[in-house]
Amino acid sequence: MRTIPIRASRSYDVLIGPGLLGEAGERLAELFGPCRAMVVSDDRVDALYGEALRASLRAGGIRAERFTFPHGEESKTLATYGALLEAMCKANLTRRDLLLALGGGVAGDLGGFAAATYRRGIPYVQLPTTLLAAVDSSVGGKTAVDLAGGKNQAGAFYQPSLVLCDTGTLDTLPQKERRAGCAEVVKYGLLGSEALFEALERNPAGAWSEDTIAACVEMKRRYVEDDEFDTGARQFLNLGHTFGHAAELLSGYSLLHGEAVAMGMAAITRSAAEAGLCSGETLRRLTALLGAFGLPTDLPYPAEALARAAGTDKKALGKSITLVVPEAVGRCRLETVPAADLLLWLRRGGAK
């Protein structure tokens, strides 16, 4: 098992290893003392792991309440968030109680936002069960729901009190979800670790190892500790996300987040290569690696529509937008460009 301490406005540990779900009750009882817990998960994850977690909580003397929502991004809404708050209120949870977000990034973002705002904030624990949630969304305290106008448009920075990543749960992920999670792992390599990128080129299956997950969380730790509130260095983590979020929105969320990030990463790298900001070799290696994971690398949407959708992205600030631009494998830079230039960046990136 690996333990990575995160030092932010609230400090906490990220534990990574097999069997952690079964130990959750004991660990939480030790950390929080007598309390109750609202377990938030989608229907699929609840069916797979809900009872195991509840049994573990019972063994630790923690009474569990349960809130389950239909799986998928379509549930990351104000309506589900409101229903969850009402369920917490009905269960009369107090500020001494906990919220447990069991699942992928959707359960984590939604549960985290409810924890941030219920009675002005109660503690919560992330229990990620997707690769994406393990390496990215469960760490760093970004919580949100989507609005009709865009992804993650209502949310809060609110750190968890603990992250328990039971790597055994990743075994049951459907193939499509497995592939999508790998996009975020590739992102860390392209962003700041040529060694990680090369290791994935040699052995793509290594994306699932405890070592790789820990390496990604360790990288995320540095960005979060440097810039918890995302006004500087943390923006690097948005690599591939500006165009990716736009594609996700235009697809009506039929694209998985990781698939959209893969498209966005390939497009910004293609655009950078076209502009002479990175080599053609960097682009070739990226598209080959994404291809090895079966991830898409083309951006099949009109540039104008993507530019409009990207304008609602959180990275857009007034009339300018900050892009994360690859310079080489393992090195990127932030580039603030006039919003009017987005079309050019998108067309160079291969948008129609």
Ligand X SMILES: NC(=O)c1ccc[n+]([C@@H]2O[C@H](COP(=O)([O-])OP(=O)(O)OC[C@H]3O[C@@H](n4cnc5c(N)ncnc54)[C@H](O)[C@@H]3O)[C@@H](O)[C@H]2O)c1
Point out which residues bind ligand X (CB under 6 A): 42, 44-45, 48, 71-73, 76, 103-107, 109, 129-130, 132-133, 136-137, 140, 142, 151-152, 169-170, 172-173, 177, 180, 257-258
Supply the minimum distance, in Å, between the C-beta of residue 344 and ligand X: 27
Task: Read off the tokens for 57.
Answer: 């909580």
Of 177 and 228, CB closest to ligand X: 177
Give φ, ψ of 151 to 5 degrees.
-75, 145
Supply the minimum distance, in Å, between the C-beta of residue 152 and ligand X: 6
Of 219 and 283, CB closest to ligand X: 219
Supply the minimum distance, in Å, between the C-beta of residue 142 and ligand X: 4
Supply the minimum distance, in Å, between the C-beta of residue 247 and ligand X: 13
Instruction: Judge contact between 333 and 327, C-beta under 8 A.
Output: yes
Sequence-separated (6 or more) residues with CB below 8 Å from residue 289: 186, 189, 197, 200, 201, 204
Of 207 and 273, CB closest to ligand X: 207
Which residue of the chain is nearest ligand X when measured via CB?
A: 105
Of 8 and 337, CB closest to ligand X: 8
Supply the minimum distance, in Å, between the C-beta of residue 78 and ligand X: 14
Q: Tell me the torsion sign for CA atoms 58, 62, 66, 71.
A: negative
Of 35 and 73, CB closest to ligand X: 73
Supply the minimum distance, in Å, between the C-beta of residue 48 and ligand X: 5
DSSP 121: -
20-32 vs 51-59: helix crossing angle, rounded to 10: 40
Supply the minimum distance, in Å, between the C-beta of residue 294 and ligand X: 15
Of 169 and 287, CB closest to ligand X: 169
316-317/162-166 β-pairing: unpaired
- Strand blocks (E) in the chain: 2-6, 12-17, 36-42, 63-69, 98-103, 124-128, 142-147, 150-157, 162-166, 316-317, 320-328, 331-338
Q: Tell me the torsion sign for CA atoms 93, 95, 101, 106.
A: positive
Of 1 and 47, CB closest to ligand X: 47
36-42/98-103 β-pairing: parallel
Of 97 and 177, CB closest to ligand X: 177
Instruction: Judge contact between 98 and 36, C-beta under 8 A.
Output: yes
Sequence-separated (6 or more) residues with CB below 8 Å from residue 181: 130, 131, 132, 134, 135, 173, 207, 258
DSSP 42: E
Supply the minimum distance, in Å, between the C-beta of residue 335 and ligand X: 21
